[in-house]
């Protein structure tokens, strides 16, 4: 049990910089929940004192963020100033459960959906941009699920429409260039997402 708990503690310290900080400040008592030998406890206390522990925590966060940024690049670009506290909140309860970090994007999507539902996603353009990327992500997941079935569903020409309250061509164009969008007048716009084979077509009406 001891080696397993040593590894569990090192993993927890890596995933949770706040926990590492509390061990650094308060000492070994914060490790009481783990079954450790005296030597293992000494090692963990030595590790949290090393600057390299911050590198570990940062690299783990970067690796966890990569699949989120891949799936929701525009949302992440738009939320950039608010992203760190949002991720801190998400990762305070969600832990990665696979070496491919495959649940990170889904967890992020679920977390932001809750924020939208509770009215906490009150950043300009955030709701419509997130809705657009969720629709794309849902289609990707649909294709992946279909591939799992022995008789894949016919997805050709599957269409989804997403409504925008501001000009999506300008909005998405700016975010794709990693630029903050300008003030846009409100309007009613429809973007159509169409699956054609392995590719996704996006139709925007001006």
Partner 1 sequence: MSNETPACGVGVLFNPALADFVQSHSGSLDYLAVIPDRFWVDRGSGSHPRFVETSAGRTVLVEAARSLPVVLHGIGLSICSAGLFDREYLSQLARWRERYSCPWVSEHLSFSRIGAGHETNAGIALPVPYDREILDLLLPRIEAAQAVLGCPFLLENNVTYVTFPEQELSESQFLNELTRRSGCSLLLDLHNVYTNSRNHGFDPTKFLLELDLSRIVEIHVAGGSEMMGFYTDSHTGGVAEDVWYLLSIVARHCVNLRGVTFEFHESTWPLLRADGVLAQIARARSTLAASCAV
- Crossing angle of helices 52-71/126-148, nearest 10°? 80
Chain residues in the site for partner 1 (CB under 8 A)? 3-4, 6-8, 10-11, 14-15, 39, 42-43, 46-47, 50-56, 58-61, 63-64, 95-102, 144, 147-148, 198
Residue 68: its H or E element:
helix 52-71
With a CB cutoff of 8 Å and minimum separation 6, the contacts of 162 are: 128, 131, 132, 135, 190, 191, 192, 193
Residue with smaller CB distance to partner 1, 8 or 169: 8
Measured from the CB atom, the residue of 99 and 186 that comes closer to partner 1 is 99
Please name the residues in contact with 142: beta carbons below 8 A apart, sequence gap of 6 or more: 155, 158
We find the least distance from the C-beta atom of residue 68 to partner 1, in angstroms, to be: 12
* Rounded Cα gap, residues 78 and 130, in angstroms: 9
What is the smallest separation between the CB atom of 6 and partner 1, expressed in angstroms?
8
Our CB check for partner 1 shows the closer of 25 and 186 to be 25
Choose between 147 and 180: whose C-beta lies nearer to partner 1.
Answer: 147
Strand pairing class (159-164; 199-204) = unpaired
> CA-based angle 73:60:12, to the nearest 5?
130
Output the smallest distance, CB 183 to partner 1, in A.
Answer: 32
- Minimum CB distance to partner 1, residue 147 (Å): 6
Q: How far is the CB of 61 from partner 1 (least distance, A)?
A: 7
- Closest to partner 1 by CB, 81 vs 99, is 99
């Amino acid at each position: 049990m001891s080696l397993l708990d040593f590894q569990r503690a090192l993993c927890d310290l890596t995933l949770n910089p706040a926990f590492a900080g509390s061990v650094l400040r308060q000492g070994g008592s914060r490790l009481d929940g783990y079954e450790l030998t005296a030597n293992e406890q000494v090692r963990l206390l030595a590790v949290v004192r090393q600057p390299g522990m911050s590198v570990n925590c940062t690299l783990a966060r970067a690796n966890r963020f990569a699949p989120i940024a891949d799936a929701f690049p525009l949302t992440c670009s738009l939320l950039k100033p608010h992203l760190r506290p949002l991720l801190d909140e998400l990762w305070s309860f969600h832990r990665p459960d696979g070496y491919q970090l495959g649940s990170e994007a889904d967890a992020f999507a679920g977390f932001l959906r809750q924020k939208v539902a509770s009215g906490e996603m009150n950043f300009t353009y955030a709701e419509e941009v997130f809705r657009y990327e969720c629709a794309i992500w849902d289609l990707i997941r649909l294709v992946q699920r279909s591939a799992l079935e022995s008789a894949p569903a016919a997805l050709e020409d599957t269409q989804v429409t997403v409504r925008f309250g501001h000009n999506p061509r300008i909005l998405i164009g700016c975010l794709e260039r990693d630029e903050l969008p300008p003030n846009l007048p409100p309007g009613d716009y429809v973007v159509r997402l169409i699956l054609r084979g392995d590719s996704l077509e996006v139709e925007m009406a001006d």
